[in-house]
Structure 1
Amino acid sequence: MIKKSWFHIHIAALLVILAGCTSSPTPNHNRKVFISKEGAQYTLYRDGSPYMIKGAAGFEDLRKLHDAGGNTIRTWDTLNLGKILDDAYANNIAVIAGFPMPVSNFLFFYQDTSKVAAQYAAFRDIVNRYKSHPALLMWCLGNEVDFPYKPSFRDFYKAYNHLLEMIHTIDPDHPVTTALINLNRRCIYNIRWKVPDLDLISINIFGELQQLQNDLKKFSWFWDGPFLITEWGINGPWESEFTAWGAPIENTSTKKAAQYQQLYEQFMPVKNPRFLGSCVFYWGNKQEVTHTWFSMFTKEGAASETVNVMQYLWTGKRPAIEAPALKYMLLAGKGARDNIMFNPNSVQTAEILFQNVTSDSLRIQWEILEEDWHAKKMYETNTEKPASFDSLILFSGEHKVTFRSPAKEGPYRIFATVFDNNGHFASTNTPFYVVSK
């Protein structure tokens, strides 16, 4: 009898979950932004009209985003949110505003009622302040916070649902989502069971984008709700090839641009009726293992070839003048996959090979940096570009450079950034290791 009772309880629970997963949103057409389901098709509406997100993760260079055909940005926190919203509105860009939350396994935070109360009050103030801003599109409650099952996380779920209820109550005009790492079935199971009031689920995805369409189809028996891709792009440093000493190998900006186009055209689920759009990563400049891996712009605002690609994907048109195109870099006549090692203080050469481009109007900036394996805190990578060893550059010619290897043993990279006179740049780098005699 006991076993039978538990069986019935589990079946009942599963039916409840499935009912939540297959229910359609009930849109209020008087709201500024809402999601509607017509047949199998989910549609995001903004100011009464269908709105497909052609977005970018980042908050800089918004005029260039608009000019390239983009219409939305995604942020991760509320720092300078007022200025970001104002800048976005001035450039006809909508904003997915992110609320930063400690990941769920920071139980010490969620078990501290004073910290949770302070977070609630701070988020409530933000919602009240910006809920009527014309650039606001939706809220994203947490980025990659993870949604576990264990009962020990009940304080996290209590705090999360309290925040979600508050946002919906104060601001019924804008949907609320959260961003997961990849199509995480475990998280989606627990969201549907423990956080049923989220309006949609968002996905941050890189290397696994190639499997996403198939994974969505296989998982649609359980979850068939609307979704948004809040980050997508080329393979991250964690998904790349590595040197013998563990340094990730970065492709040239030219090859990365081709990969962005291939990923979007072949693997982005644009024909899926549940798809509400995507945000490419990263519209701006950031340090993540290198200062060029994801950056589509330099700090000074020069645009990479990937920006040209996104303009083509969003508008069907390429710019009249495109960024310089590179083949590869040779360091001492070798490539990154050759595991290049030098003695300290030895004189070496590097050169760039171009694709169908003249060098008349190009300028090359060479830099030697230590490998960035540093972290500010656990789970938080360094965000500052390492110092450059400018004094090691001995001579730079048209496409070549002569330099002295560092005196200190360890891993390094040599970077080449190529600028034209039209606001574009191209980049490539090669890791090497200095071995003491």
Structure 2
Amino acid sequence: MIAVLPGCKSRTDSAHTQKVRIEKKDKKFTLYRNGKPFEIRGASGYSHFKTLKNCGGNTVRIWDTTGLQTILDSAVANDIAVVVGLPVRHSEDLAFYNDPEKVKKQYLAFSRLINRHKHNPAILMWCVGNELTFPVKFSYQPFYQAFNNLTDMIHRDDPNHPVTTTILNFNQKYIANMMLRCDIDLISFNIFGKLPQLRQDLEDFSWFWDGPYMLLEWGINGPWPGTEQTAWSAYLEDTSWKKAEIYRERYQRDMPLKDPRFLGASVFFWGNKQETTDTWFSLFDENGAASEVVGTMEYLWKGKMPATHYPDISFMLLDEKGGSDNIMLDPREVVSARIVMPESSGDFDKIQWKVCKEDWYKQNNENSTRRLPALPNVVVSEEGLQATVTAPAEEGPYRLFATVYADNGTYATCNTPFYVVGK
């Protein structure tokens, strides 16, 4: 007979001396930090902690432990709590989990790290793995054993900080397996395009699981199936202005803010990263300039409009066509490009134009994180909101980028894919 567990194995019956704990009262879960209720207003990333604090954020989520001490020092200096990710091997790597020596090495490494850092005041909780799968098959038992050994060790060695893990989207099968086979304090979701249906998913499965949860990644739709593409499968990226609108709408309309089980969320990505482009998820550029989404999050966290003004881009045209028009150019064809900005955008300092090859490189089915260089001698002239571009000589897919910078450290972005057809 299988016992159905109504929620995660909360340690609310333990002494209230824990630095961080989750308590349940009248069906409401509350996260306490240093004796006070703590609502997570978080960001996923490794940097810009001061800006996060100034915007009203209080938590950062990281995925691994590289440079952990430096990150914790910065978090302490800016009064930011940290959800520390422990990068365990993915559950699908059965060759790893069937090797006792490798599993033991992973266990000992995390044991040393946790015992080294567990007293740091910045730590909020530990997150074991990222987007793990929790299959029901018996062949995954070595993974479950290794996972449970890690969570048991953390609960034993560091009872002051809860333990979580993340799954991609809401997955009833994975949640059921976690509840029946694992011991964690709360479940975390990485969720983007399926955020609008999260409330219904939670309600539909509450008969089985009604424990606490948080979102460790949320944001706009990414460069993946379901997002609009060109004829050659290049994903179309929204302008930064449109992205800010989507972040605001999803937070206000879809975030389960009033759910008594909800402990908070971390917006993705608080920093700069390459994923198909270096602008798709990045809320900052590589030099630290802030996009409009940063101001949007300040508004959502603080409840008032930020004093900082951000430039806006309505759309870009290349050869008087948009990205959905499947722009085909001849090698070395000279075409004009322009961006359209709303009147409310105000003054700007400069516009940077560049052309890059389409980033289709993947390793182990993971997107490249290496920023592609701008091609030389492609943007031949610039004037105002316009530029003249010479198509590359080599056949293939490319993108034209325009970045508008204001003199207050903010920027706006847009890009358009095009294809050079060989002769």
Give the count of matched residue pairs: 422
1:325 corresponds to which of 289, 312, 326: 312
Shift of 1:126: 0.8
Is structure 2 residue 221 aligned with structure 1 residue 212?
Answer: no
Is structure 2 residue 368 aligned with structure 1 residue 382?
Answer: yes
Which deviates the most, 384-393 or 253-262? 384-393
Which deviates the most, 48-57 or 357-366? 357-366
Is structure 2 residue 283 aligned with structure 1 residue 283?
Answer: no
Give me the whole-angstrom Cα distance separating, in 1, the residues matched to 2:150 and 2:305.
43
Listed one character per residue, the Cα deviations across residues 248-269 of structure 1 (whole Å, up to 9, x for unaligned) are 1000000000000000000000
Shift of 1:321: 2.6
Shift of 1:19: 5.3
Question: Equivalent residues in 2 for 1:22-171 (5 A)?
Answer: 25-171=12-158
Aligned 8 A contact 1:328 1:352 in 2: yes
Q: What SS is found at the alignment partner of 1:229?
A: strand
Give me the whole-angstrom Cα distance separating, in 1, the residues matched to 2:137 and 2:382.
59
Higher helix residue share: 1
Listed one character per residue, the Cα deviations across residues 253-307 of structure 1 (whole Å, up to 9, x for unaligned) are 0000000000000000000000000000000000011100000001110000000
Is structure 2 residue 266 aligned with structure 1 residue 274?
Answer: no
Aligned 8 A contact 2:125 2:163 in 1: yes
Q: Which amino acid aligns with 1:341?
A: M
Aligned 8 A contact 1:395 1:403 in 2: yes
Q: Which amino acid aligns with 1:216?
A: L
Shift of 1:359: 6.6
Aligned 8 A contact 2:289 2:410 in 1: yes
Change (3 A) 1:53 1:358: closer
Aligned 8 A contact 2:60 2:83 in 1: yes
1:3 is matched with none
1:296 is matched with 283
Specify every segment of 5 or more residues in structure 2 that has no aligned partner in the other structure, as ranges.
Answer: none
Give me the whole-angstrom Cα distance separating, in 1, the residues matched to 2:243 and 2:155.
40
Give me the whole-angstrom Cα distance separating, in 1, the residues matched to 2:337 and 2:14.
59
2:161 corresponds to which of 156, 171, 174: 174
Shift of 1:361: 3.6
Question: Equivalent residues in 2 for 1:237-256 (5 A)?
Answer: 237-238=223-224, 239-256=226-243
Q: What SS is found at the alignment partner of 1:140?
A: strand
Aligned 8 A contact 1:60 1:284 in 2: yes
Which deviates the most, 119-128 or 319-328? 319-328
Listed one character per residue, the Cα deviations across residues 139-177 of structure 1 (whole Å, up to 9, x for unaligned) are 000001211110001110111101111111110000000
Q: What SS is found at the alignment partner of 1:264?
A: helix
Q: What SS is found at the alignment partner of 1:34?
A: strand
Q: What SS is found at the alignment partner of 1:237?
A: coil
Listed one character per residue, the Cα deviations across residues 351-391 of structure 1 (whole Å, up to 9, x for unaligned) are 0100114675420000100110101x213210011121131
Shift of 1:18: 3.4
2:212 is matched with 226
Shift of 1:22: 8.9
Q: What SS is found at the alignment partner of 2:84?
A: strand
TM-score, L = length of structure 2: 0.98
Change (3 A) 1:159 1:245: same
Aligned 8 A contact 1:27 1:35 in 2: no
Give me the whole-angstrom Cα distance separating, in 1, the residues matched to 2:376 and 2:191.
36
Q: Which amino acid aligns with 1:188?
A: I
Change (3 A) 1:40 1:24: farther
Listed one character per residue, the Cα deviations across residues 44-75 of structure 1 (whole Å, up to 9, x for unaligned) are 00000000000000011110000000000000
